[in-house]
Structure 1
Amino acid sequence: MESSRQERRQELAQFLRSRRARLSPEQAGLFAGGRRRTPGLRRGEVAQLSGVSVDWYTWLEQARDIQVSSQVLESIARALQLDSNERRHLFLLALQQLPADAAQPEHEISPTLQSFLDLQGVSPAYVSDQRLTIVAWNRMASLIYGDYASMTERERNSVWRTFTSPYVRQLLQDRWEAHARHRLAHFRALYGKFAGDPWWLEMIGELNKVSPEFRDWWPQHDVLNGPEGRKINVHPAAGRLVFDQISFAVLDAPHLTATINIPSQEDETISNLQKLIKASLQND
C-alpha cells in the first residue's frame, strides 16, 4: 500500500516538474529577469502564483508525504495553466478523485453527442449533468417524457420533475414511489460531492417545501448509483411501454451521463413507439 502511494507521489512530482518546465515567465505574467539555467518557471515562482510557501511546493515536487487540499490544487492548476485533461490528471494523482466542476459549462453538448442521441431512433435517450438536470435529448425522449425544449432548467431537473410533475406520476402510476426513491437516492449520492454548494442547498430547500415525500425521505440518507434497470411507463397516447435502461459517462465530458432506454423486444413497445413517432411527424 505504502509503495503504491509513494509511486503516485513520484508521478505527481514528475508531472508538476514537466508542466513547470514548459511555462515561461512571460506566459505566466512574470518578469524573466535575464538568462536562466533551466527552461520554465522556478519553484518559487509557481509557489508565488499559487499562494503557497516555497518550502511546501518544493516538498510536493520532491514527492514528500504532505497533505494537499482541492483548493490548493486549483491554485496550482491555474498557476501552471493546465487544460481540463491535465487538471483532472492532477487531481487524480494528488487526491485520487476528480475535481468538483460546479462551474463547468455543463450545458455545452458536442454535435457528435447530440447526433448519437438522435441516431437512437425509437429508444428515448438523453444526457444529464451532475445535478441530474437533462441537458440534451432526442425526439423520442421528448415524446415520452415531456417537451424538454419548452421547460425551464429547473423543470428539466429529473429530481424536481419526479417530485412535482403530475405527468410523471401518471406515466409511472403505481411504480412512482420506487422510481422516486431511486432518483432521490442517486441525488443524495451525488450531493456528497457538492455538500454545501448553494445550488444544491436551494434545490433541497425548495423540494422540502413543495413535496411531502421528499421531506419525509431526504433525512433517511439513502444512497444509490446506477440506472434503474427495467422501466415500465404508461403513456397517454402510446399505452404501456417497457424499457431496459443503460447509462454511461461521456468520456470527453465526464460530468455528463448518457442514458438510453432500450425498448423491450417481448411486447408491443416498439410498435407503439413507431406509431407515436409517426403521429408526431404528421402533426409537424
Structure 2
Amino acid sequence: MGNGELGAFLRSCRAARTPEDAGVVYSGRRKVPGLRREEVAVLAGVNADYYTRLEQGRETRPSPQVLDALCRALDLDPDTREHLYRLAGATPEDISAPTSRAVSPELRQLMDGYPHTPAFVLDPVLNVLATNALADALFSPFRVADNLARMTFLDPAAPLFYARWDWTAQATVANLRVATGFPAQQPGLRALVAELSEGSTRFRELWETHQVRGKTREPKHLVHPDVGPLTLTYQAFDVRGAPGQQLIIYHAEPATPSAHALALLSSLHATRTADA
C-alpha cells in the first residue's frame, strides 16, 4: 500500500479525536473537527515538525517510543494500535510469506465434520478458501462465494442477505484494512481495493476512513431466501501451519428459530445436491 499509508492513517485518527475527548482547551472557532497537528504533537510529547513529516510521508520509521506516545495521544484501541505499528514497520512480521490459498486435507475433513453448522476458511484479504456443505448452502444466494468483501459490495444479493448491510459493510472494510499492515504478504490486496473502489461508492467512502478492526463477536443477522431470518454467532480460529488463514464457524443457539432454519437449510441443500 506504500509509505503514504502511515500518514493517511494518522490523519484519519487525528480527525476522529475531538479536543473535548483529548482534554484540549481551546477558544474560538476551529477549522477542523478533530485535533490539530500541533495538538497531537503536544499530547504525544514530540516535535510538531516531526509529527507533520510523519503525516506527510516524509518520515516513515518512527521509533516504538514515538508510536507508544501517539497511541496514547490518539487513544487508539488494540486493533488500531497494532495496525499503526505494522504500517510503521515497528513490529516483526508474523507472516513471513504470502498466505497460502491451499487448505490442508485435514482441515477440510474437520470442516466436513460439522454438518449442522457453516464453516469456512478465510485469508487476510477475506478470500473464501474453503467451505463445508452448509456454508455452501448459506452463501448460495451469491453469484460466487469467493471473497467476503466482493460479495458484500458488488453482489446484488448482499443488501437482502445482510439484514444490517451498512453495519456489515463497515465491519468488512475495517477487517480488510488490517491486511494493509502486511503489504508484502497480501499481493492481491491492491487489486481487490481497486476493483471495489471502482464498483462501489460506499466502499470508497468507508475505505477513506482508515478504520481498523479485527473480527468481533457480534451476531450475524442474515436473511436467506430459502429459510428466512437467521441470527448466528461465530468463532474465528487461527490455522496452525498456515499463517494468515482463519477458520470461521457460525453457530445458532440451540432450539431457536435460527437453529431450526439452519437444519432446514441443510436438508434442502442435501436434497438439491442429491438430485443434481
> What is the CA–CA distance in structure 2 between the aligned matches of 1:229 and 1:159, rounded to whole Å?
18
2:214 paired with 1:220: no
Rg (Cα) greater in structure: 1
Q: Which amino acid aligns with 2:200?
A: S
User: Residues 195 and 204 from structure 1, CA distance in 2 versus in 1: closer, same or farther, beyond 3 angstroms?
Assistant: farther
SS of aligned partner of 1:220: coil
- 2:111 maps to 117
Match of 2:168 among 161, 164, 179: 179
Q: Are the structure 2 counterparts of residues 251 and 196 from structure 1 closer, same or farther at C-alpha, using a change threshold of 3 Å? A: closer
Q: 1:138 aligns with which of 123, 132, 138?
A: 132
Cα distance in 1 for residues equivalent to 2:112 and 2:211: 34
Percent identity among equivalent residues? 25
Indicate how the Cα distance of structure 1 residues 282 and 228 shifts in structure 2: closer, same or farther if over 3 A, else same.
same
Aligned residue runs from structure 1 range 3-82, under 5 A: none
Structure 1 runs, 4 residues or longer, greater than 3 Å off: 94-97, 195-198
SS state at 2:243 partner = strand
Determine if the alignment matches structure 1 residue 230 to structure 2 residue 224.
Answer: no
1:239 pairs, out of 187, 204, 228, with 228
Distance in 2, Cα, partners of 1:277 & 1:99: 36
The alignment partner of 1:225 has SS state of coil
Q: How far apart, CA to CA, are the structure 1 residues paired with 2:132 and 2:185?
A: 33
2:124 & 2:186 partners in 1: Cα distance? Answer: 13
Report the CA distance shift for 1:197/1:97 in structure 2 as closer, same or farther (over 3 A): closer
Q: Which amino acid aligns with 1:163?
A: F
TM-score w.r.t. structure 2 length? 0.61
Structure 1 counterpart of 2:93: 97
CA distance, structure 2, for counterparts of residue 217 and residue 186 of structure 1:
12
Describe the shift of the 1:200–1:96 C-alpha distance in structure 2 as closer, same or farther (beyond 3 A): closer
- Cα RMSD of the aligned pairs, angstroms, is 2.3
**Counterpart Cα distance in 2 of 1:277 and 1:226:** 26
Matched, 1:206 2:195: yes
Maintained 8 Å contact 1:164/1:211: yes
Which residue is 2:249 aligned to?
260
Distance 1:178 1:116, change over 3 A: same
Return the offset for 1:101: 1.9
Counterpart in the other structure of 1:159:
149
Gaps of 5+ in 2: 1-89
SS at match of 2:97: coil
Q: Any idea what SS the aligned residue of 2:244 has?
A: strand
The one-character-per-residue Cα deviations of 1:24-65 (angstroms, maximum 9, x if unpaired) are: xxxxxxxxxxxxxxxxxxxxxxxxxxxxxxxxxxxxxxxxxx
Per-residue deviation, residues 174-215 of structure 1 (Å, max 9, x unmatched)? x01101100100100121211796532222111111001011
In structure 1, distance between residues paired with 2:195 and 2:157:
20
**Structure 1 unpaired stretches of 5+:** 1-93
1:134 is matched by which residue type in structure 2?
V
TM norm structure 1: 0.60
Report the residue type matching 1:256 in the other structure. Answer: Q
Q: Which has the higher contact order (CA 8 A, sep 6+)?
A: 2
CA spacing shift, 1:147–1:171, aligned 2, 3 Å = closer
Distance 1:197 1:143, change over 3 A: closer
- Equivalent of 2:121 in 119, 127, 132: 127
